[in-house]
Amino acid sequence: MASSLNTERDPETTSATSAVIDAQDLHKIYAGAGAETHALRGVSLRIDSGEFAAIMGPSGSGKSTLMHIVGCLDTPTSGTYRLAGHDVAQMDVHELARVRRETVGFVFQAFNLLPRATVMRNVCMPMLYSRTPADEREDRAVEAMRAVGLEDKLWTHRSNELSGGQMQRVAIARSLVNDPSLILADEPTGNLDTATGDSVMELFARLNHEGRTIVIITHEPDIAQRARRVVRIQDGLIAEDAASTTAHIRGYGDGEA
Amino acid sequence: MRISDLFSETFHSLTSNKVRSGLTILGIVVGIASVIAMLAIGNGSQAQIESSIQSAGSNLLTVMPSSGGQGGGGFRMAASNVKSLTRDDAKALAEIELISGAAPEAQGNGQLVADGTNANAQLIGVTPEYAAVKGLTVRSGGFVSQRDDTAYAQVIVLGSTLADDLYGEGVDPTGRRIRSGNMLLTVIGVLSEKGTSGFTNVDSSALIPLSTHQRYVGGDEYLSTITLTVADESEMSTAETLVSSALLERHGIADPDYADFRIQNMADLLATVTSVTGTLTALLAAIAGISLLVGGIGIMNMMLTTVTERTREIGLRKAIGADDNVISLQFLVESVVLTLIGGGIGIVAGWGIGVAGGNLMGIAAIMSLDSILLAVGVCAFIGVVFGFYPARRAAAMSPIEALRYQ
């Protein structure tokens, strides 16, 4: 049943050059104390450049595991995964770090900003590790902060002086500075009220409109619906993969949150 | 990560928790400061003792009466009660080839009464050779002459401190009269300041002719010491052997174990004292080193706490692409910078404490380049060693676990 849904987006039938995420038959098995947990049971997923997708599922569905593999924070037990052309399934921690640095921009539920550092410093941080020349950094940070709608006067504020919505904008700006192939947002609205969450989603939509590839991990139907494509994960398999207008989102995941 | 970025990040993270960074630095400051202060005071006192011995003359052999039978055990009389050396012994010893001067002396105490003030001072009976052998010069007047000695002259040369005590500073007492026991002594000179030399502080003593001393103070013909100068300092041991055998022969003693005198070699004394004070300095520094170790453990403790506290930050840094080695380096540099700052302050503080403590004890503290290099080296070592484990722990964290950490 689930596997037949997968074939709706068979990678063979789409252009290989524009794939940002190209995963084939991903399995992930965690060796626990005495029992093995089969978190992913054969997930194949292709997301092309310029897409705006939501990966949706209840806790325990394997969506977090999928996100970790997609974001190169973890490697699959078996299966192949190409991220923006890099074959990452067999990489060691150092190579994974390099791929993350160059191709992924992360946005987290808890923002994860350095509280005592200024907005500017937070946004500049990824460029420390990518060895961006010092004279370029400020320009790129300013560009990113403008792109997410952070006003100039906030740039010198400490990040713990900001509101939740502002903090998430800083985090999104931070994810943009290294010009990643993929922006991966894990429950980006989970710590925000509805109105602020909406505006953050609008920002993602706008960034997507400007050509960014965005993948959002969420369990909230309202959020998932604002993406253009919804991939539902259940029990380690893709249960549904469809445009958000046609996907069975409603009444799903209500047991969450 | 660029070097400048590394230090900028280090500065930022150390200043974001100033109190904790400050306390950790304090631990290192205390450790380094105590090591530096101990070494400075130790080296200072060692140098002082050495110079005091050297000012007495490191080419001196001092012959003193001593009871025989050292090797055989049993009853032994206190050295001061033994009387065995005479003026003739001194004359005979002066004839030995390696000996360039011989100064016999007799010591005793006397109450000196001068124009209404009085003082109890050490009265030393000397011959004219005494000035040359002990390296004394007069501030005013003259020294005891051969004629004074021959004529049992009632003349006295005052030490500089004693003269000031009796007559006040800036007064030349030459020609004044001093009464002591049955003697009415005329002041013929005042010595220049000499400082403690060996075991006698000549500044607070008074010198009279040896013959006068033996007649009026000692009451016999015996000496308390014969001080000999050796022409060539490298032949101290040979000279000592020659002096010893000459005296044994004069005193008719066959077995050196039963000698009625002993010879003190200043060069040997200097070596012994130097090694003793060196050991003491090392001991003090070792004790201070323990507080340095404690400071180092403090660093490790703080860095471990920091790693735990910044787990999520480490997770974030890894997620945005920081390599494990870079994370490790960041934490290592933090701990090394902490110790080096602590070390820098510690060196300055230790120097201050050394100088202040030295002043209280009357010692000129000596700050050597060696001890600074040692302190800096130890600091860097502590920073690396105690920072290494926390740094590895930070680097080894899984980014997923770290991001999830609450």
So what's the pLDDT on residue B98? 87
* A134 near B CB under 8 A: yes
Q: How far is B304 from chain A (nearest CA, A)?
A: 19
Q: What is the pLDDT of residue B233?
A: 80
Q: For residue range A215-244, what is the model confidence (pLDDT) as tens digits?
A: 999 988 888 999 999 999 999 999 999 888
- Here the tokens at position B122 are 């050490």
Average pLDDT rounded to a whole number, residues B73-95: 74
- Comparing B374 with A10, which gets the higher pLDDT? B374
Q: What is the ipTM of this complex?
A: 0.86
- CA B95 from centroid of its chain's CA atoms: 36
What is the structure's pLDDT at A1?
Answer: 37
Contact B9/A at CB under 8 A: yes
Tell me which of B306, B313, B314, B320 to substitute to probe the interface with A (most A C-beta atoms closer than 10 Å). B320
Q: Does B315 touch chain A (CB under 8 A)?
A: yes
SS3 content of chain A, % helix, strand, coil (to 5): 35, 25, 35
Q: Higher pLDDT residue, B285 or B122?
A: B122
In 3-state terms, what secondary structure has residue A92?
coil
Instruction: Give mean pLDDT, residues A79-91.
Output: 89
Which residues in chain A have their CB less than 8 angstroms from residue B321's CB? 97-102, 104, 126, 129-130, 178
Please state the rounded mean pLDDT for residues A150-162. Answer: 91
Ranked by mean pLDDT, which of B142-146, B263-267, B401-405 comes out on top?
B142-146
Give the tens place of pLDDT for each residue, B164-210: 989 888 888 999 999 998 899 999 999 998 766 556 788 889 999 99
pTM as predicted: 0.72
**Is A254 a residue whose pLDDT tops 60?**
no
Among chain A residues, the shortest Cα distance to B327 is held by A129
Per-residue exposure over B88-120, b if at least 16 CB sit within 10 Å of its own CB, e if not: ebbebbbebebbbbbbbbbbbebebbbeeeebe
From B280's Cα to the closest Cα of chain A, the distance in A is: 49
DSSP helix/strand/coil, A56 = strand
Q: What is the mean predicted confidence (pLDDT) over B322-344?
A: 92
